[in-house]
Amino acid sequence: MTVVKGKQNELIELPCFIGDDVYIVCKKGVANAQISKIIISRNNEIVFMTERKSGKRISYWNEVDIGERVFFERTEAVSTFKEIANRV
């Protein structure tokens, strides 16, 4: 993790870097994406922009999605997808 200065000069700890791979749980499975941009809003909310490696699809998510639908390890994402699929 790294620390950056937010809009209000507060220190904000980032969980990842631009260029890092992430795995996003989708309706049909797990998508591999790469972080292409990190935005810090006026209220210091961190928003991540990712681009899928398999195509042009771009998605936005924030820090609360980590561990819910966005993962840094593929095995964790696949496990979560299977849990969700079994509930349906």
* pLDDT per residue as tens, the chain (88 positions): 555 555 566 777 888 999 999 999 998 999 999 999 998 887 778 899 999 877 777 889 988 999 999 999 999 999 999 999 888 6
Say how far apart CA 75 and CA 72 lie, in whole Å. 9
Q: Which fold has domain 17-87?
A: SH3 type barrels. (2.30.30)
Reading the block at residue 10, the tokens are: 């507060």
Pair 37, 46: CB distance under 8 Å = no
**Domain segments of the chain: what residues?**
17-87
